[in-house]
Amino acid sequence: MSKPSVIEQLTKGIRKENPVFVLLLGLCPVLGVTSTAINGLGMGLATTFVLIMSNVVISLIKGLIPAKVRIPSFIVVIASFVTVVDLLMAGYLPSLHEQLGLFIPLIVVNCIVLGRAEAFASRNQLLPSLIDGVSMGVGFTYALVLLGGIRELLGSYSIFGLKIIPGDGLLVFVLAPGAFLALGFIIAFFEWRKSTASHVKNPA
Amino acid sequence: MAAPKSSFLNLILALGSVTLLSAFSLGYVYEWTLEPIATAKREKQLRAINAVVEFDNDPLAESFEVVKGQHQYRHRKRKGQAQAEESDPDALVFYPAKKQDTLTSYAIKSYSDQGYSGRIEIMVGFEMDGRIREVQVLSHRETPGLGSKITNADFLSQFVGQYPELFDLRVTKDGGEVDGISGATISSRAVGEAIKTAYDNFKGIDNE
């Protein structure tokens, strides 16, 4: 098996191993904050920062950590970066911080972060771990913006806060059930496209 | 590169140094962001006050709290920049607005616990004769798309210029004059109630 190229490593988070649409990890913030595209973007970028930083630090210290305290050490590293994001956002982006509220501290328990730390960063060198963090973060952000955009478009007829169609929109997409509905349809769409694509490549 | 053995000493050393390092770096970031966070909070309050009254003094420094229902008020401790958070969550906060050292109006942070899902906080500005200058919703947890419309200008503008003595702050459904939002009577009622609370306490201040 050949080693995956850098490009492949960078793009795997968007399509092949998209944390939300394919791996289905970290769905709690995904469903919770994506009522608008802006919220999705903010949450995605915050998570990306944590992913990259924790991947980098964990790949650096992995040789110094005995196996038995591996997970606790990773969690401490992740929690520290989450707190850093929380403080920085409160200071410099107060309005976004207010919108995302509780979900920022909850990045700690977002399984995508610990998942990448354990499955990737603790087994790879600095550079691949950095790339993995960027890739996963971009994929996560893309998923959140897509879902937030669709919910905002249907729920309030606007996108990134700009009104597109006059009127009130379909309330259900702003509320929690709309998150499940929209995510379900998006995943179904991607799976359908994947299945038709593979049919073309190797006809059965 | 083999990881160190999981001996008792190694476990303590590894976890100890990881937590120690992260504690130090967090302490550093905390110190660093202390000032911006305080400034952001202060600016947010000033923006809310600015939306309902005009002033050239520092209403934050001169603000005081009034405990709901009791017409006695106490001055808040002045701690300069960091006093953005009030001490008693159930008290109303009065921000005197002055122009050339003359008291022209009051901005009052009031609230109602009768919202559809919890507390609704508002900032309302009163002229000295009791006329409502402007109303802003500061925070709420109402249903998005329904109760959240209490933040819309077309709902809040009906209060502007009214005298609460003459304008019944109950919704029309309850026999008042507030034109409630369809599908969100409870939220509309709560906003009216919060304004009424502010006004009742504002009158109490005046009489002293």
Beta carbons of B57 and B192 less than 8 angstroms apart: no
For chain A, the average pLDDT equals 85
How high is the pLDDT of residue B52? 86
Q: pLDDT at residue A41 above 50?
A: yes
Q: pLDDT at residue A2 above 60?
A: no
* Ramachandran quadrant class, A175 (left: phi over 0; alpha: psi -120 to 50; beta: rest): beta
Q: pLDDT at residue B86 above 50?
A: no
**Segment A106-127 mean pLDDT:** 87
Note the Cα A86 to chain centre separation in Å: 17
CA distance B5 to B28: 32
Q: Which helix (H) or strand (E) holds B83?
A: none
Beta carbons of B129 and B166 less than 8 angstroms apart: no
Interface contacts A/B by beta carbons within 8 Å: 82
Q: B26: which chain A residues are within 8 Å (Cβ-Cβ)?
A: 80, 83-84
What is the percent of chain A where pLDDT is above 70?
A: 95
CA distance A179 to A40: 12
Residues 48-107 of A with CB under 8 A from B: 61-69, 72-73, 76-77, 79-80, 83-84, 87-88, 90-92, 94
Q: B40: which chain A residues are within 8 Å (Cβ-Cβ)?
A: 90-92, 94
How high is the pLDDT of residue A1? 40
How high is the pLDDT of residue B70? 54
Helix axes A70-92, A37-61, angle to 10 degrees: 140
Classify residue B91 by burial, with Cβ atoms within 10 Å: 0-12, 13-18, 19+: buried
The chain B residues in contact with chain A (CB within 8 A) are 1-7, 10-11, 14-15, 18-19, 22, 25-26, 29-30, 33, 35-37, 39-41, 43-44, 143-146
Per-residue model confidence as pLDDT tens digits over B172-200: 888 888 888 888 889 999 999 999 988 88
Per-residue model confidence as pLDDT tens digits over B122-150: 999 998 888 999 898 988 888 777 788 88
pTM above 0.80, yes or no: no
Q: pLDDT at residue B101 above 90?
A: no
Per-residue model confidence as pLDDT tens digits over A132-186: 999 999 999 999 999 999 998 888 888 887 777 777 778 788 888 888 999 999 9
Q: pLDDT at residue A202 above 70?
A: no
The amino acid occupying position A38 is: I
Q: Kindly determine whether residue A94 and residue B41, on different chains, have CB atoms separated by under 8 Å.
A: yes
The dihedral built from the CA positions of residue A5, A6, A11 and A12, taken in this order, carries a sign that is positive
How high is the pLDDT of residue B68? 65
DSSP B110-161: EEEEEETTEEEEEEEEEETTS-EEEEEEEE--PPTTTGGGGGSHHHHGGGTT
Task: Quote the tokens at residue B66.
Answer: 């009034």
Label residue B83 by pLDDT band (50, 70, 90): very low
Q: Which helix (H) or strand (E) holds A120?
A: none
* Closest C-alpha among B49, B206, B197, B52 to residue B130: B206
Give every CB contact of residue B79 below 8 A, 6+ residues apart in sequence: none
**On the CB side of B108, how many CA atoms lie within 13 Å of its CA?**
31
How high is the pLDDT of residue B81? 38
* Cα Rg, chain A, nearest whole Å: 18
Label residue A105 by pLDDT band (50, 70, 90): confident
Q: Identify which has the larger pLDDT, A185 or B1.
A: A185
* Cα A142 to Cα A19, A27, A79, A97, A108, distances in angstroms: 10, 14, 23, 20, 20
How many residues are present in chain A? 204
Classified as helix, coil or strand, A27 is helix
**Segment B56-78 mean pLDDT:** 67
ipTM of the predicted assembly exceeds 0.85: no
How high is the pLDDT of residue A137? 92
How many residues are present in chain B? 208
